[in-house]
Amino acid sequence: MGVSLGHAAQGPGTQVLSSLSPNWMTTKLDFLVNWARTSSLWPMPFGTACCAIEFMATAASRFDMARFGMERMAFSPRQSDVLICAGRLPFKLAPVIRRIYDQMTQPKWVISMGACASTGGIFDNYAMVQGIDTVVPVDVYVPGCPPRPEGLLYGILLLHKKIRGETVVDGSLRQERPLDQTGLRLPPDVVDELSEPFGNSIHQTRSA
Amino acid sequence: MNPSVDALRREFGPLIGRALVSCGDTIVYLDAGRVAEVLRWLKETPGQQYNYLVDLTAVEYRDPERPLEVVYELFSLERRAPLRVKAELAKDRLEIDSVVPIWAGANWLEREVYDMFGVSFRGHPDLRRILMWETYAEGHPLRKDFPLRGRFSRAEQVRQALGANPEAHYSMDELSIADAYHELPEDMRERLARGERGVIPEPQRERGGE
Amino acid sequence: MSKRTVEFELATPGLDVRGRPMRVPLGASAGAAVAEAEPELGGDHLLLNIGPQHPATHGVLRLVVELDGEVVVRCIPHVGYLHSGFEKLGEYRHYNQIIPLTDRTDYLSPMSNNVGLALAVEKLLGLEITERCTVLRVIACEMSRIISHLVWMGTTGIDIGAFTPFLWMFYERERIYNLQEAWTGARLTTSLTRVGGMMADVPDGFVEGLRTFCQTFPKTLAEVDRVLTRNGIWCARTQGVGALTAEEAINYSLSGPMLRASGVPYDVRKDRPYLDYQTYDFEVPVGEHGDVYDRYLVRFEELVQSTRILEQALDRLPDGPLNVDDPRVILPPKTAAMTDMEAMIFHFKQVMEGVKTPVGEAYFPIENGKGELGYYFVSDGTAKPVRWRIRPPSFINLAALPKMAEGGLLADLIAINASVDIVMGEVDR
């Protein structure tokens, strides 16, 4: 039977759906809902730096995001589906992206475009968030510095694949998870572990 | 060597320190106490006319004995002559006159030097942080004793960043029009009530983490 | 500076039959007390926050504006939302490792940043680059100027309402991207130069490709000219808007098209020449009124002049060695490094220890698309700089925004913000 979801508000429809056990009717419903969602994912372009220019190039005529139904850039978070963080995220911008993510209505997804958004990139220093997944939950990471437009389109197609694997019966997918009481999204040791330097970064802390 | 150096020595004598040429650029050192006077003379005197402030920045050397230098890169548009002027500041007294009355472009440049190095500019109309957020508590990033990754742990940095109010108003202009008085910290409210402007409290020492 | 906050209590006599507070119109008896407290019917000023996430701010810029109706009374820009600690990072990197960092400051014209940095380090070292390298760097700088102005024109068009030039400009940018990709391997983050030379020579087909671009690009420019320059809406929204006099422009340390549109003929290529620019035949457009329209005309003409310089550079491209013949500075060819002991040792020392510069300091300005981009290095004799300072033209130009915008309309603020041609990576570094 239904699982009691005591967290943030669930509409009456979701409660009905989550009390169903999956059967052939829900799979048909899933197919329809996911088809609708993937066919017009309106992006919320949170473009900060160089990746934003490649994002603009993806939207322009050569690579054309309009063929995926994504040409309508929703600059209002209320009207958007997927937050594409294109570019590096300094600490000063972290509360802004968190607020914009919170303002987005469900269903919402996040694509982290580029190395800086995914892990902090080449900026392993005092000013840069080491990966936006310490601040907002991320669905698809697109590597590259900057990723080619084809790379971003591949990331979008991966997101489509992920969405097609979703089901309306599982209410936990579309659940709002606000920051915890300490003001973090993940426990502090997880944040520290995610932000640890790796590779060449470890050896480049000497200034002279 | 730029002939302005000789003119400076004739005019100001003991205020002018050493002068040297490095990679073709002339550099002259000034006494930090009366920088504004000398720079105004450089801008307004016919024959000098350094009317263009190219850059204003600071340099801290790796050798802790050397003082911190504030660097003014000047250019004369008519004579097409550059000049670099430096003032040395002792690290326990990082204060110098502001040159905003001379060149308006120095406003944001001085705010950046304050933000990154902690140098206070006397007479600056609105001295507050520009690149980091106003309540940034880790210190002044471009100082040599500031580690590359900051003083706090990453989790603490994320927490402090997420806790900052993205709609904060801290400039005197904004506070006069916004109803943000109740959001101010206690001590800032008192200072505003006393009419103090451009006086910035000491950045808080590290709290939490690291 | 007057304090304009007024405590304003909406008095309501009670709840109506449906339980909602009754609204009493102003001017009625209940509103008379309110009218006395606020004698001018103009009312309060509104504090509006634009950004940092906003389509028209050209990046993460936050503008707090005080509005009296539609008139901007005060405009306070907040920057720093893209501060990435470049200058701090530069102190922990060898000079050649700083070159990829420069791609990411002004990411709209990355090759010119690379060239500027290499020139600054070569000044510090006292190194002369080869003829071929000089001409190739001029080509790189002018290509960067073109793509920077193309982005500017496209996005300013969008801000003011003209969407089509954006797509045309990005199509032209894609053609330059193809050339950049053929040369360096990357569309955007090129890392083109090295201290003493370049990362690679131009590939086959590059010169022909660039020549074709120079021949077909003026046609696109002519179309944009036909669509925008004498367009009634464009002129109405840009003429007389955001004007700055020449004295103000100099006082605010503006540079680039912002300064030249106000009538000051300062161009680093002409006044402090580098890369043999004094031997090229080109003109520098200088405006008169210093408004947004003049800045548009100046940048438009600079696109024409850049095409001219590119054609001259392609004509005079000499054969010869690309990099300086100094193995302490330039990596030896890979085949030599694999077979010759000396070459291997030079390779090892450069990669592990970097290029050591003598004690000293150097400031090198170049004319970027945005203005005077300068790199200031202070060296203490090691391979990593003591201080790396980027003189950011966008940061300094942006500081004049309140001066230009105050007193105008909100729609003008958007046009003026677009005309400053900022790139936040450079503003915040």
Nearest-neighbour CA in chain A from C362: distance (Å): 19
At residue A7, the pLDDT reads: 42
Shortest CA distance from C84: residue in chain B: B131
Inter-helix orientation angle C95-103/C110-125, to 10°: 160
Amino acid letter, A99:
R
Interface touch B149/A96, C-beta < 8 Å: no
**Looking at beta carbons, which residues of chain B come within 8 Å of A192?**
153-155
Is C82 an interface residue toward A (CB < 8 Å)?
A: yes
Would you call A134 and B158 a contact, using CB atoms and an 8 Å cutoff?
Answer: yes
**Yes or no, beta carbons of C76 and B23 under 8 Å apart:** no
> Are the C-beta atoms of C289 and C162 separated by less than 8 Å?
no
Q: Is C49 on the interface with A (CB under 8 A)?
A: no
- Tell me the shortest Cα–Cα distance from C253 to chain B, in angstroms: 5
Strand order in the sheet with B25-30: B16-22, B25-30, B81-89, B68-76, B52-59
The pLDDT of residue C38 is above 60:
no
∠ at Cα B173 (C48, C428), nearest 5°?
75
In a mutational test of the A interface, the residue from C49, C50, C53 whose CB has the highest number of chain A CBs within 10 Å is C53
Give the torsion sign (CA, B40, B43, B44, B47): positive
CA C286 → CA B22, B170, C87, C156, distances in Å? Answer: 33, 39, 33, 20
Q: Are C214 and C314 in contact (CB under 8 A)?
A: yes
Contact B162 A135 (CB under 8 A): yes
pLDDT, position A45 = 87
Neighbours of chain A (3+ CB pairs under 8 A): B, C
Q: How far apart are CA A59 and CA A42, in angstroms?
A: 12
Judged against a pLDDT cut of 60, whether residue C4 lies above it is answered with no
Calculate mean pLDDT across residues A154-161: 94
Determine, for residues A125 and B144 on separate chains, whether the beta-carbon distance falls below 8 Å.
no
Residue-level pLDDT at B137: 82
DSSP A92: G
Listed ranges B127-131, B161-165, C56-60, C397-401; the one with the highest mean pLDDT: C397-401
Alpha helices by DSSP H, listed for B28-124, are 35-44, 106-117
- What pTM was computed for the model? 0.85
CA B196 from chain centre, in angstroms, equals 19
Q: What average pLDDT is seen over chain B?
A: 82
Distance CA(B89)–CA(B97), nearest Å, equals 12
Residue A93 to residue C52, Cβ atoms within 8 A: yes
- Cβ neighbours of residue B163 under 8 Å, at least 6 residues apart? A95, A183
CB pairs under 8 A between B and C: 131
**Phi then psi dihedrals of residue C404, to 5 deg:** -80, -35
pLDDT in tens, C231-267: 889 998 888 888 899 999 999 999 999 999 999 999 9
Residues in C closer than 8 angstroms to A75, CB to CB, are: 53-55
- CATH number, span A39-200: 3.40.50.12280
Least confident of A98-102, C14-18, C142-146, C153-157: C14-18
Residue B207 has pLDDT above 50, yes or no: no
Report pLDDT for A110.
Answer: 95
B195/C354: higher pLDDT: C354
* Among C residues 122-151, those touching chain B with beta carbons less than 8 Å apart: 123-124, 126
Q: Is the peptide bond before C52 cis (omega within 30 degrees of 0)?
A: yes
Q: What is the value of ipTM here, to two decimals?
A: 0.84
> CA dist B32 to A74, B92, B94, B96, B118, Å?
53, 14, 10, 6, 16
- The residue ranges of DSSP E strands in C172-321, in sequence order, are 193-194, 197-198
First and final C-alpha spacing in chain C: 33
Which residues of chain C make contact with B198, given a CB cutoff of 8 A? none
Mean pLDDT estimate for chain A: 84
Domain boundaries, chain A: 39-200
